[in-house]
Structure 1
Amino acid sequence: MKRSKEPIPNFHLPETARSGILINSSGEINKAGHDIHLPHRDEHYLLIMMFDGCFKALVDFKQFEVAGSAVALILPGQVHQVLEINKGKTVTISFDPLLVASELIPVLQSYFYKQTVLPEDDILFRELSALLQILIAKKDHHTKPIHAFVMHVTLQNMLALIACKIQSVNNAGTIEKRPALIVQQFKTLLQQSFRQLKKPSDYAKALHISVKHLNDTVKASTGFSVSFHIQQEIMLEARRLLYHSPLSVKETAYTLGYEDVVYFTRLFKKTTGLTPLSFRRQFSH
């Protein structure tokens, strides 16, 4: 079967991004180069800082609404759309994944993959706001290497502060412990490779541990097996495609790496309780 073009619009950072970072404020948010009110995904991170007003969006079938001061992060690949923006001051920072320190990636993904908004924290918000001002001040001098370096370091500091908040919320001060590290590495790899890697043994091999050790560690931490997490990740993408794209069930299965449509349909129903067509009909109204 001939592969069709990307069924859900997938956007890169625009050429106007400075040193891998694009900062937009309030009215400029609608100048993203694409319609932010339609479902789409980005290949970059999107950090949202709201100072006042109201912001409502949908991220992977989960609606979130914030008012007043708030911090949110949308990860690369998450299907999202803005539902409503009321008057107020909002700043968005789009940035290349290459700018995120490897130590921070699993922490950010473990939290923001499940929820989009951080809990309220006035101290954190003031710290992030101060760093944001540095980013804004340096963005017009990005052609000078030292200024670009300052922007990158400042962004890293912002993400590190957010990661610290996540760890305090989750009491995750044990991030360095081996079991927690294995679980985070598995989840990161899963989000990146679920189209290609379908078996627990694939992930165990990539992480250089035994299948039993991986499964025992993941199940002890999350309550679910490695196979369960793999199925959930694949079925989330399946729902994205069925809801947001015109692909047929057969094309959806193929896009996800399944040549056997009957098997895919059976797996989808087992996971969601609906056949792919029933899901599409139910959510199209």
Structure 2
Amino acid sequence: MTDNIGAGIAIERISFHDLRTLDNSTLDSFEESKLAHREDRHSFFLLENGIVHMEIDFQKYEIKSPSVVYMHPDQVHRMIGFENITISSWALNNENLNPGHLQLLEDIAPAKPLVLNAATFSIISEAVSLCIKFSERKKDKLYHLFLIDSCNALVALVASQYLELAESTGTLSRFELIAKCFKSALERDFITVKRPAAYAQSLNISTPYLNECVKNATGYSVSYHIQQRIVLEAKRLLYHSDKSVKEISAELGYEDYSYFSKLFTKTTGMTPLTFRHKNLD
């Protein structure tokens, strides 16, 4: 996305009908989007028409309109293909996000593509159109402020839809509440905290009870979730960076490189280097 003001914020609407109709510059941009990458900001994609095929954190999705996709800066993703699409997109870095909105986004990440009903899609699409008009008024003295405020309103609209989806499942049980608190702590501390007992202590409960709650709510143990989160981050770094496996191991809090390599292999069924070569090919 083109940065509208050179300060970590962007918004635009684009339409692609067929690869054969794209000019060289747009075709080059599309080819770049097919490579695994991360954005340097929180990104939102409103699919207004058509179908998009994407891979997000190594899971493939077929996204049909009308849908919205929220992408956290940590997430690795790539475009696989599209069919007759119109996409509106906007992106803000942490500095331009309302602090309350930023916390909401951290809580819902990683988020899956979300299908919108007709009424909600209409409101968000109209709001995007207005924000795009704002983005074109670069000579206005308060341009920066009203562009940030309008894009934050879009963020709130989308975040509210994810929250509504979460609430539609009904009141959370005691097990689900504790599992949610554990997953928030895991997202924050997985690099430095690896032991289930440490998470239980931070939540002021026993380790067996934490395990019972998490397993009841998710079907998997605390140790499983810890390992999966570490391996996901390892996959992102293997896929997106040129760091060595030893460097990635250290970055994820493992001084023992061989232990990390065995953990990755046990979890994924392949060595870190095999995963890197398989996906880069």
Q: With structure 2 as the length reference, what TM-score do the two structures score?
A: 0.76
* Counterpart for residue 274 of structure 1: 270
Q: Cα–Cα, structure 1 residues 72 and 15, in superposed 2: closer, same or farther, change >3 Å?
A: closer
Note closer, same or farther for the CA distance 1:189–1:93 as it changes in structure 2 (3 Å cut): farther
> Secondary structure at the residue paired with 1:76?
coil
Is 1:228 aligned with 2:216?
Answer: no
Matched, 1:61 2:58: yes
The list of structure 1 runs, each at least 4 consecutive aligned residues, that deviate by more than 6 angstroms after superposition, is: 27-32
**Counterpart residue type for residue 210 of structure 2:** L
Among 203, 213, 216, the residue aligned to 2:199: 203
Deviations 1:115-136 (A, max 9, x none): 3x21352232123223333433
1:92-115 C-alpha deviation (Å, 9 max, x unpaired): 1213354353773466326x1xx3
Mapped partners of 1:17, 1:195: distance in 2: 35
Indicate how the Cα distance of structure 1 residues 242 and 21 shifts in structure 2: closer, same or farther if over 3 A, else same. Answer: closer
Whether 1:52 and 2:40 are equivalent positions in the alignment is no
Distance in 2 of aligned mates of 1:50 and 1:107: 23
Q: Larger deviation: 57-66 or 246-255?
A: 246-255
SS at match of 1:56: strand
Corresponding position of 1:76: 73
- CA change 1:88–1:197 in 2 (3 A) is same
- Which runs of no fewer than 5 residues in structure 1 stay unpaired? 1-12
In structure 1, the partner of 2:186 is 190
Residue 115 of structure 2 aligns to a residue in which SS?
Answer: coil
The structural deviation recorded for 1:224 is 1.2
Counterparts of residues 134-173 of structure 1 (less than 5 Å):
134-139=130-135, 140=137, 143=143, 145=145, 148-149=148-149, 151-168=151-168, 171=169, 173=170
- The answer to whether the 8 A contact 2:50-2:84 is kept is yes
State the 1:22 CA deviation. 2.1
| Partner SS for 2:127 | helix
Is contact 1:186–1:203 with CA below 8 Å preserved after alignment?
A: yes
Confirm or deny that 1:23 pairs with 2:11.
yes
2:237–2:243 contact (8 Å) kept in structure 1? yes
Is 1:174 paired with 2:171?
Answer: yes
How many Å separate the matches in 1 of 2:56 and 2:179? 23
Q: Choose which of 36, 59, 66 in structure 1 pairs with 2:33.
A: 36
Matched with 1:219 is 215
> For residues 2-28 of structure 1, what are the alpha-carbon distances to aligned partners after superposition, in whole Å with 9 as ceiling and x for unaligned?
xxxxxxxxxxx9863588642121169
CA RMSD of aligned residues (A): 3.5
Q: Secondary structure at the match of 1:42?
A: coil
Q: Does 1:255 align with 2:262?
A: no
The structure 2 residue matched to 1:94, chosen from 62, 71, 91, is 91
